[in-house]
Amino acid sequence: MAKNEKKENNLTAAPLLNAMLNYKTDPMTGFHIPGHNRGLGIYPEFLNLIGESALKLDTTDEFDNLGTLHPATGAIKEAQELAAAAFGASRTFFVTGGSTVANLALAFAITNPFEEVLIGRNCHRSVLTGLIISGAKVNWVIPKKLNDWSIFGSIQADDIEQKLKKNRNIKLVWITNPTYEGVVSDVEEIAKICKKYKAALIVDEAHGSLWSFNSRLPKSALKLGADAVVHSLHKTGGAMVQSSMLHLSQNTCFDEEKITHALKLLHTTSPSLLLLTSLDAARANLSSKKGQDMLNCAIDNALYFREKAKNIDKLHVLSDSTKIDPTKIFIKTDNLDGLELEYILEKDYKIEIESASDEGILILSNIGGKKEEFDYLLNCLEKISKTKYKPSKSNVKIMPLIDPEIVMNLREAYFAPKESVLKKDAIGRISSEVVALCPPGISILLPGEIIKEEHLPYLFNYEKLEVIKE
Ligand SMILES: Cc1ncc(COP(=O)(O)O)c(C=O)c1O
């Protein structure tokens, strides 16, 4: 019997949620952290703001028979096992420091100093921070640039094959899929190429945690041959902020123990039970009929918006139909750049979108979202399309579509003697820090990268930069 087979019929169970319910209804007399004593010792205004119930449940592992995270025991272990079964993983780790900590742990566990790795240029800064910790050497694969949209597109399997063929020392490929804007790469093909060249594959699927729960969404890399996959359940999966999962696939070539140790080293020793429970609840919800209906509704809302938006003058929707996650809607207009459009939506219409980029804005169709909200948004966009706005003169850029020129190992550059210089004086110098705007968290500069004039428009909120001392 496969490791997770016995759990598969019970994916709507929520063992950690149940343990927390028992803890809430039948508490012990406590003499332990957190010292706010179930809210009794907290600033009253804060208690009123977030509610008694949240504070009663604000506890950490090891107490009250709730189980422990490192090592996984009790209800936490059961919840992780059910998550593994739901996502089709051989092992799932709950992470309360977001996908950032999951990526750090993977880099730390899997890569070694000066070992060559192949990384998608559009990776999140946490992957690079992980490689600074490990000291691995970065080779880049540059995704297709969708220049009309000023964003990265998919990673081409051919490009990966060329890189692996040319440099046989590369034993790990690490890509982001989907992109922040929802563009999907052919992971199945990429995984086959990795196998051919005996390279492991990590997929940062931070923005794809819903994919295992609906056939109208792209397939998760866990089913397509990746060795490890990272999911930010808090981004779109319905868990609380900072709650992520790190999964090992059924046929992973990674050593489970190494990942366990890395997580133990990098993770807080006081994980929030509220966050862990929210991961259990999110998975149970997505496995349930109600959750499935909500997800279907989110997809329907997105498709509805995409269709209706076609009728709005000067508005364009990114829709490479087969290769996009439909719930991530990137739009642009002919007359406004992304930041201007974001500003107008916020100021004139009280609409908060996910993010703005050079050309356009990103809208998410989330579970629990309502069709009326999309009607309102469509209405506002229609009005905006009919209004004349003064063009902005700002020379601000968000999405760094620059191919980095790295002249030093990331770790060495990070720990080298450094100095702080004015931005304009930094041109031609070697950066000693990771500079990235979040979102999208894609690096503008890296330790060991030559700073060029073309970086300057992206560094609009920096006066000085950290560079290596000459
Ligand atoms: C592709 C990608 N990976 C990882 C992360 C880090 O995720 P978290 O915010 O959960 O730490 C992000 C965050 O935006 C991301 O976009």
Sequence spans of domains, the chain: 5-12+72-271, 292-386, 410-468
What is the CATH superfamily name and number for domain 410-468?
Orn/Lys/Arg decarboxylase, C-terminal domain (3.90.100.10)
| Ligand 1 lined by 240 (C-beta under 6 Å) | no
Q: What percent of the chain has pLDDT over 70?
A: 97
Q: By alpha-carbon position, which residue is closest to atom 9 of ligand 1?
A: 98
Hey, which residues does 445 pair with through a beta bridge? 435
| Secondary structure letter of residue 324 according to DSSP | B
Angle of helix 98-110 relative to helix 256-266, nearest 10 degrees?
Answer: 130
Cβ of 352: how many Cβ atoms within 10 Å?
8
The rounded Å distance from CA 60 to ligand 1 centre is: 24
| Ligand 1 lined by 327 (C-beta under 6 Å) | no
420: CB partners within 8 A, 6+ apart = 464, 465, 466, 467
pLDDT digits over 275-329, tens only?
A: 999 999 999 999 999 999 999 999 999 999 999 999 999 999 998 555 999 999 9
Taking all residues of the chain, what is their mean pLDDT, rounded to a whole number? 95
Could you give the CA distance from residue 443 to residue 436 in angstroms, rounded to a whole number?
4
| Secondary structure letter of residue 405 according to DSSP | -
Hey, which residues does 122 pair with through a beta bridge? none
- Its CATH architecture, for the domain 292-386, is Alpha-Beta Complex (3.90)
What residue type is 370 in one-letter code?
K
| Ligand 1 lined by 204 (C-beta under 6 Å) | yes
Q: Are 171 and 157 in contact (CB under 8 A)?
A: no
Helix (H, G, I), strand (E, B) or coil at 389: coil
Could you give the CA distance from residue 286 to residue 366 in angstroms, rounded to a whole number?
12
Could you give the CA distance from residue 2 to residue 362 in angstroms, rounded to a whole number?
40
289: CB partners within 8 A, 6+ apart = none
Query: Pocket of ligand 1, candidates 106, 124, 399: which has the most ligand atoms within 8 Å of its Cβ, to mutate?
Result: 124
Q: Are 61 and 80 in contact (CB under 8 A)?
A: no
Residue 123 CA: nearest ligand 1 atom is 1
Q: What's the pTM?
A: 0.96
pLDDT of residue 320: 58
- Identify the band that residue 63 occupies on the pLDDT scale cut at 50, 70 and 90: confident
The burial of 29, by beta-carbon neighbours within 10 Å (0-12 exposed, 13-18 middle, 19 or more buried), is given as: exposed
Class of domain 5-12+72-271: alpha beta
| Ligand 1 lined by 232 (C-beta under 6 Å) | yes
Tokens standing for residue 457: 């428009």
pLDDT digits over 186-240, tens only?
A: 999 999 999 999 999 999 999 999 999 999 999 999 999 999 999 999 999 999 9
The rounded Å distance from CA 190 to ligand 1 centre is: 21
